[in-house]
Amino acid sequence: MNNKKIKNIKKIDIVFVVIVLLILFGGLLNVIFNSDEINYYENRTAYQMPKINISKMLKGEFQNEVELSFSDQLPLATILKKGYNFIHNITPNIMADIVFRNNCSNRYIKLGDSTLSFGCNKNLVYYDSYIYYAKEAFDNRIKSINETLANTTIDTYIYYIEKDTDLNFATNKKTGVYEYLKDNINSNNIYNFEINNFDEFSQYFYKTDHHWNYKGSYKAYTELVNILTDDNPLVAVAEECINDFSGSKASFSGARYFYKEPFCVYKFEYPNYTITINGEDGKYGNEDYHLNNKNAEVSYASFYGDDYGEIIIDNNNQSKPNILVIGESYDNAILKLLASHFNKTYSVDLRNYERETGNKFEYTKYLKENNINKVLLIGNIDYFKMKEFNLEV
């Protein structure tokens, strides 16, 4: 090989190394200065680069937080996680299929690190979660809620959503999270979406996704109408199933290609709402599109609507009160239903509000400015232990 070719190869190697270094450096800058706030793949708040803290460094906590930050923020992190989960779980998924075909029994079969399969119909479920797993987080949220209740005279209602994390299906033993909240939150207006066994869970929740299905969300809506109003709930005009889908649990466990289910819905005739999203006119959800395009790819968020910072649904009926709903993704499926019973329905997701609206959420100021008459705090176990949902009063 002559010297000219050797020099060209070296130049190519140098260019390649420079490009790799630039990509890595760009990724580092992205982690430090332009971090994502939400990890949409895992449906949680993303880990941020921590501030330098000597005390945390000595304990090793700072290093762990940096590692978690890189796992969320580096370019292609989500793609790499999806690939890892698929490869890591492909054998358990295949084995689970074999087990279910040969021994259909109500028992847990592990799929990956956090997801299980249970029941003859291949329901993907999460481990049951107990208070002592995150007692400090629960207690901090309870303290925040009690401070909120003590500093406002607005009627405030709390609705806890029980699901797979609240019950061990093999033993039918409940985790007691709702009971702990009820015993320690200073309110007589705390209610729950109750799940007592696997049959109830499988009736009201998707097989492959962590959300409630159309039957579960409608059951919650009818309960909330009775709690919040003297009205009768809207009645569905039809029931339809559209394209098959594979939800968040299947995706996170690497099982999207093994677990699918029909996406079924109720159709309603809503009032003629005016809707604003983060201060701009818009529409919430894509129900009409999916009902008219049944072969289009569908998901819970694409059908019902996403987790926007602020949604205002104006029913243009001043004889009705105004309500503020502070929740997370579970309320997406019931917002337009609830809005039919109020003049204006304000929905706030505190994970996204400040980032998407550019304004800090000031609770008492918001209540006064929007003439709020009732408040609904609604969510599942994560909502009642995540500090992101704390209200400042």
- Predicted confidence pLDDT, tens digits, the chain (393 residues): 555 555 555 566 576 666 655 655 555 555 455 555 555 444 555 556 666 667 656 666 566 665 656 555 555 555 555 555 555 555 555 555 555 555 556 778 877 667 888 887 889 999 999 999 999 999 999 999 999 999 999 999 999 999 999 999 999 999 999 999 999 999 999 999 999 999 999 999 999 999 999 999 999 999 999 999 999 999 999 999 999 999 988 887 777 777 899 999 999 999 999 999 999 999 999 999 999 999 999 999 999 999 999 999 999 999 999 999 999 999 999 999 999 999 999 999 999 999 999 999 999 999 999 999 999 999 999 999 999 999 986
Residue 346 phi/psi, 5° resolution? Answer: -105, 125
Quote the pLDDT of residue 329. 96
Quote the pLDDT of residue 41. 45
Quote the pLDDT of residue 389. 96
Measured CA to CA, the distance from residue 119 to residue 299 in angstroms comes to 23
Residue 159 phi/psi, 5° resolution? Answer: -130, 110
Provide the phi-psi class of 303: left if phi over 0, else alpha when psi is between -120 and 50, else beta: alpha
Question: Could you identify the residue written with the tokens 């060209």?
Answer: 8
Structural Rg of the chain based on CA atoms: 24
Contacts of 262 (CB under 8 A, 6+ apart): 241, 242, 244
Q: What is the DSSP letter of 273?
A: -
Measured CA to CA, the distance from residue 158 to residue 179 in angstroms comes to 13
Do 144 and 391 touch, CB atoms closer than 8 A?
Answer: yes
Measured CA to CA, the distance from residue 2 to residue 219 in angstroms comes to 78
Quote the pLDDT of residue 234. 98
E-strand spans in the chain? Answer: 38-39, 44-45, 108-111, 115-118, 123-126, 155-161, 167-168, 173-174, 190-193, 238-245, 261-267, 274-277, 280-281, 310-314, 323-327, 344-348, 374-379
**Which token pair is 33?**
């200065």
Question: Could you identify the residue written with the tokens 């797979």?
Answer: 164
Q: What is the pLDDT of residues 215-230, one digit of tens each?
A: 999 999 999 999 999 9
Residue 110 CB neighbour total at 10 angstroms: 15
Q: What is the pTM of this model?
A: 0.80
Question: Could you identify the residue written with the tokens 């921590």?
Answer: 50
Measured CA to CA, the distance from residue 257 to residue 168 in angstroms comes to 27
Residue 30 CA: distances (Å) to CA of 34, 69, 72, 352, 358 = 5, 11, 11, 19, 21
Do 231 and 341 touch, CB atoms closer than 8 A?
Answer: yes
Contacts of 23 (CB under 8 A, 6+ apart): 75
Measured CA to CA, the distance from residue 372 to residue 367 in angstroms comes to 5
Measured CA to CA, the distance from residue 83 to residue 232 in angstroms comes to 48
